[in-house]
């Protein structure tokens, strides 16, 4: 979407493999999870050996906004607007949004089988709310994973899950063709 000549490299095992490749000079750009960035990349940034460009951002309703862990870095949609001079839209952005919602916004969530009793759902939601309300637990989680919004059965979660799991026919066709072109 940014018009960069990207060549996808398959076969790297996780972010560690990507990090090793960029450090050896085999690749020129990479992305890391927040926890990996904090532990492995931030020290290299502090030494001037790496340069952070942007974050993917976080989903807030139907918008992508700056990552709260990196408020001084632009999110993808901001970079897109600066590079292209236009607002993101169309099948290309809808495909990106769906993959973003699936890969980032909703990557760590619990689901229960269809037909689960309401009382069981409420018990799980209460347990999740308890974890989020537990300051000691959140201190550990936030330090390790970063501080992100938590969606527990609310409107933002429903929007994120819908964005991650549904796609218009034209968007699906675009994504399928784009993926086929990257083989």
Burial class (CB in 10 A: 0-12, 13-18, 19+), 100: buried
Stated pTM of the model: 0.79
The neighbouring-strand residues paired with 60 are 63
Low-confidence residues of the chain, pLDDT below 70? 183
Query: Do 35 and 63 sit in the same domain of this protein?
Result: no
Residue 16: the pLDDT is: 84
**Token output for 153:** 């059965």
Per the structure, the complete domain to which residue 151 belongs is given by 56-181
Residue 22: the pLDDT is: 85
Query: Do 4 and 87 sit in the same domain of this protein?
Result: no
Residue 110: the pLDDT is: 80
Query: Do 62 and 43 sit in the same domain of this protein?
Result: no
Tell me how far apart the alpha carbons of residues 24 and 65 are, in angstroms, rounded to a whole number. 32
- Helix (DSSP H) and strand (DSSP E) numbers for the chain: 9, 2
Query: Do 133 and 174 sit in the same domain of this protein?
Result: yes
DSSP, collapsed to helix, strand or coil, labels residue 55 as: strand
Output the CA–CA distances (angstroms, integers) from residue 2 to 6, 18, 32, 72, 118, in the order listed.
10, 21, 19, 20, 45
Residue 124: the pLDDT is: 92
Query: Do 12 and 101 sit in the same domain of this protein?
Result: no
Query: Do 81 and 156 sit in the same domain of this protein?
Result: yes
Query: Do 43 and 132 sit in the same domain of this protein?
Result: no
Number of domains in the chain: 2
Residue 32: the pLDDT is: 86
Query: Do 112 and 158 sit in the same domain of this protein?
Result: yes
Residue 18: the pLDDT is: 83
Average pLDDT value over all residues in the chain = 87
Query: Do 81 and 131 sit in the same domain of this protein?
Result: yes
Q: Where is the domain boundary, 16, 35, 52?
A: 52
Burial class (CB in 10 A: 0-12, 13-18, 19+), 160: buried
Residue 46: the pLDDT is: 96
Q: Where is the domain boundary, 9, 26, 52?
A: 52
pLDDT digits (tens, 9 = 90+) for 68-104: 999 999 999 999 999 999 999 888 898 988 888 888 7
């Amino acid at each position: 979407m940014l018009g960069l000549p990207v060549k996808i490299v398959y076969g790297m095992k996780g972010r560690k493999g990507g990090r090793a490749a960029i450090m050896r000079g085999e690749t020129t750009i990479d992305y890391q999870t927040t926890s990996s960035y904090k532990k492995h990349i931030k020290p290299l940034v502090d030494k001037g050996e790496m340069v952070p460009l942007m974050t993917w951002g976080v989903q807030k309703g139907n918008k992508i906004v700056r990552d709260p862990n990196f408020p001084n870095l632009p999110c993808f949609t901001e970079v897109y607007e600066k590079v292209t001079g236009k607002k993101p839209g169309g099948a290309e952005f809808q495909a990106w949004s769906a993959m973003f919602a699936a890969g980032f916004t909703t990557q760590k969530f619990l689901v229960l089988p269809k037909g689960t009793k309401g009382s069981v759902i409420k018990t799980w939601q209460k347990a999740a709310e308890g974890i989020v309300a537990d300051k000691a637990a959140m201190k550990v989680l936030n330090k390790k994973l970063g501080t992100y919004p938590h969606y527990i059965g609310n409107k933002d979660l429903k929007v994120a899950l819908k964005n991650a799991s549904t796609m218009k026919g034209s968007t699906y066709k675009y994504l399928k063709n784009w993926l086929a072109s990257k083989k």
